[in-house]
Chains A and B, each alone.
Chain A
Amino acid sequence: MISIDIEKKLKVYRGLQVLKIAETFPAGSITKIYGPSGEGKTTLLKIIAGFIRPEKGEIVAEGTTWLDTSSKINLPPQKRMAGFVFQDYALFPNMSVRQHLEYATKDTKWLKRLLEMSKLETLTTHKPEHLSGGQQQRLAILRALAIKPKLLLMDEPFSALDSEMKAGLISDLKQLFTELHTTVLIVSHNHEELEGLAGRALNINDTNSAN
């Protein structure tokens, strides 16, 4: 289980806006966070992962305090080990598909299984620049899963996939999430997307307040 109670000021074109969220996500749950662009969806994921520090708040994951601004606790991302799928994929240009996964895990069995699931087995020596957008997105998802995270944060993870590939991947991911008992937060700008995957939907607009 992960509980979040944070406040972060965001600079937006119409002035200052406060991203204010107090939510609890049960262990193993899949939540979709949706809403228009610029409302703080990505910022929220980055705060949880430890890349951005909010002005005020507390994050507790599986009984461990990741962040508590009143006690000045702020675990670095390396200690939180939340899997993160970036919107721009953030693949390492110098590494091949296999090297990406080997950088994340030494578990060869797990690595093989991930490669099979992603349909990237024939492209293991390819570097990101030689992969299509969809293949890059799948690799970004695999890399995040390679560390078997207890919490997975995904920022628009399926935007570059065609509907057939998306359906196949979602079905495999569902199975993996259940197996790993992973809590998943997925950011999507599209409310209709991921109906079959996410158990709960959270509108970021309902949580924000303008200053």
Chain B
Amino acid sequence: MDLTPIWLTLKLAGITTALLLVIGLPVAWWLSKGRSVIKVVLEAIITMPLVLPPSVLGFYLLLAFSPQHGVGHWLQQVFNVQLVFSFQGLVLASVIYSMPFMMGPIKSALQQLPVSLSQASYSLGKSQWQTFTKVLVPNIKPSLLTAIVLTFAHTLGEFGVVLMIGGNIPGVTRVASLAVYDSVEQMDYSTANAYSLILFAITFILVISVFVFNKYRLKSPLE
């Protein structure tokens, strides 16, 4: 059995999760503070992948990243970067697709912290950034872990968006979920089963880890 799709999937999920953590923490923090029209619109855009069929999202990303159109054309002309049918394109699409899974738990956890925690920190002369890193983030650890695991696991299982943007190029964009589909198409059920079992095991271990980590807090990791 070719393990390349599994490694490619883990690499894609790892990079996507790391990027979303860096982007998601400050953006979720900003969104958690008060409300404005811009915030409502941005939140709606971030949430769209949750309700939109992956193939629809994939189709529009394919159009946007295509070297013949808009952003894709500009990237091709200026930086000689082609996002369609490339691993970089998969990463970008995964970041967009999995964004609500990172943002949701973090934003919700930040909103649940009493506002007096930030105020107490400010009254000690601490900046907003110091307050965020030393007070707020350490107190949302369970939700942060939940967000990381959900994002990672969700990226592992991507299919529609990945197929539209990446195609199915072995060693480049052929991730495990596509390999399962291909194997079934070729009636190779034992290979399909092997890929599926590995994905199932990884996801199960991840979810179990979150339950174990959060057990003292008596809170479901999906909350």
Contacts and interface: CB of A to CB of B under 8 A. Distances in A.
Interface of A: 46, 49-51, 76-78, 80-84, 86, 88, 90-94, 103-104, 143-144, 146-147
A147 B123 CA distance: 9
Interface of B: 114, 116-117, 119-127, 134-135, 138-139
Contact of A92 (B125, B127, B139): B139
A88 B116 contact: yes
B138 A78 contact: no
B139 A84 contact: no
Given A84-B119, A92-B117, A147 B124 contact: yes
A86 B116 contact: yes
A84 B117 CA distance: 11
A92 B135 contact: yes
Contacts of A78: 122, 125-127
A58 B151 CA distance: 49
B128 to A, nearest CB: 9
Q: Which are the 10 A-B pairs with shortest beta-carbon distances?
A: A90-B116, A94-B138, A77-B122, A90-B120, A84-B123, A104-B124, A86-B116, A51-B119, A78-B125, A81-B125
Nearest to B113: A93
Contacts of A143: 120, 124
A82 B122 CA distance: 10
A23 to B, nearest CB: 21
Contact of A90 (B117, B126, B127): B117
Given A92-B135, A93-B139, A94-B135, A103 B124 contact: yes
